[in-house]
Amino acid sequence: MAPQLTIALVHQPVCNRLGEEITSTVDHFDVMDGSRLALGYPIRRFYVVNDVPAQRDLVHRLLRHGQGARDDERGEFARTAWAPDLDAVIAEHVRDTGVRPSVVVTSARPGGAVTDFATARARLFAGEPMVLVFGKAWGLAPRLLDAADVRLAPIDAGTGFNHLSVRSAMAIVIDRLVGIDRG
């Protein structure tokens, strides 16, 4: 069964380095790289979530740029969209599929009950639709982490360092969940 995986890159509510709730700005690299991940992996949609009007306009401008691609290797960003908040992402998924997805959050910070990648992957390939949520800045606000259905275990490569750029984290997590195991 093909996985039903949607990705949401959330810019609010996220935390700053002091743990305060903020809205972060959209980074064009995140939009472009997330869009490419949605082309290279079986991703239903990739959402950039930020309700600030100027940031919405930036996302739309970047997507128009990606839509005009004539290079087949680069692809078009047809699976990428903007959303004002996570509720809108979930509502669109329900509207399109008739099913509420499980909300799966990521965090570099340990805490709470976590699910390992193998278990999440098995659930996904068993047919459970999921919205996988990544946070900008210093990560998702605690209220989003606490409200999720599933919290993935932090990425651990055995070095003790796991505060990766969101682009790196998205690539690793998505590959672990839907990548082909050639091992």
What pLDDT is attached to residue 71?
53
pLDDT of 74 over the 60 cut:
no
| pTM (two decimals) | 0.94
Residue found under tokens 């997507």: 63
Give the C-alpha separation, 29 to 20, whole Å: 24
Q: Which residue has the higher pLDDT, 88 or 67?
A: 88
CATH of 5-178, one of 3.30.1230.10, 3.30.1490.190, 3.40.1280.10, 3.90.79.10: 3.40.1280.10
Tokens of 52: 């600030």
pLDDT in tens, 95-136: 999 999 999 999 998 888 999 999 999 999 999 999 999 999
Q: Where are the domains of the chain?
A: 5-178
DSSP secondary structure of 133-151: EEESTT-B-HHHHHH-SEE
Question: Which whole number is the average pLDDT over 45-56?
Answer: 97
Tokens of 69: 């691609």
